[in-house]
């Protein structure tokens, strides 16, 4: 067998072997967003936008695309989700103290206003997650309002 062919076979075997290993999935089915939603009270439109544009990477439940079944793509996605959740996890809102909540909402304003979020790699493959100007404004308005509401009422924790 020629060397090129041997290498091609070796790569194929590695690729197939890889498929037997997949990272743990981010698929909590409990009511993990309850605290966040009740404390920040987003209007339906904003809740829907957060769901389609943010929760896949910033909550404990990701709606996976079909290609997540293919390693090593699954590892790449898992890494993005871990990283995103490390910075901000709406499902763990109850673990943030009042100062952290305020800071997270401030960052939501900054990253959405600048167009940094949702990540571009994500909107390439999730067209529905792209935000129009008026959708961005709706998120900004809600986040600012929540910040002032939390500042006035404090949060239960």
Q: Which residues bind ligand HEC (CB under 6 A)?
A: 53-54, 56-58, 80, 83-84, 87-88, 107-108, 111-112, 117-119, 122
Q: What sign results for the dihedral spanned by CA atoms 38, 39, 45, 49?
A: negative
Residues 51, 58: Cα–Cα separation, whole Å? 10
Give min distance, CB of 137 to ligand HEC, in A: 13
The residue length of the chain stands at 157
Which residue, 42 or 118, is less far from ligand HEC as judged by CB? Answer: 118
Which residue, 96 or 122, is less far from ligand HEC as judged by CB? Answer: 122
Residues 56, 96: Cα–Cα separation, whole Å? 20
Task: At 8, list the tokens.
Answer: 């091609």
Give min distance, CB of 129 to ligand HEC, in A: 6
Helices (H), ranges, the chain = 3-18, 34-40, 44-53, 55-58, 73-87, 98-113, 120-125, 133-153
Give min distance, CB of 88 to ligand HEC, in A: 5
Give min distance, CB of 22 to ligand HEC, in A: 18
Which residue, 94 or 107, is less far from ligand HEC as judged by CB? Answer: 107
Which residue, 58 or 101, is less far from ligand HEC as judged by CB? Answer: 58
* Nearest to 129, CA basis, from 82, 68, 63, 69: 63
Which residue, 117 or 138, is less far from ligand HEC as judged by CB? Answer: 117
Give min distance, CB of 83 to ligand HEC, in A: 4
């Amino acid at each position: 067998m020629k060397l090129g062919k041997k290498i091609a076979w070796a790569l194929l075997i590695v690729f197939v072997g890889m498929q037997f290993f997949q990272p743990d999935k981010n698929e909590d089915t409990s009511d993990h967003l309850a605290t966040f939603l009740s404390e920040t009270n987003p209007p339906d439109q904003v809740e829907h936008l957060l769901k389609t544009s943010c929760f896949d990477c910033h909550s404990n439940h990701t709606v996976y695309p079909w290609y997540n079944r293919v390693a090593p793509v699954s590892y790449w996605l898992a890494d993005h989700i871990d990283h995103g959740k490390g910075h901000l996890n709406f499902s763990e809102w109850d673990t943030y103290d009042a100062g952290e909540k305020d800071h997270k909402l401030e960052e939501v304003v900054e990253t959405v206003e600048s167009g940094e979020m949702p990540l571009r790699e994500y909107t390439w493959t999730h067209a529905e997650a792209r935000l129009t100007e008026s959708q961005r404004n709706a998120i900004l308005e809600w986040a600012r309002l929540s910040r002032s509401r939390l500042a006035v009422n404090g949060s239960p924790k």
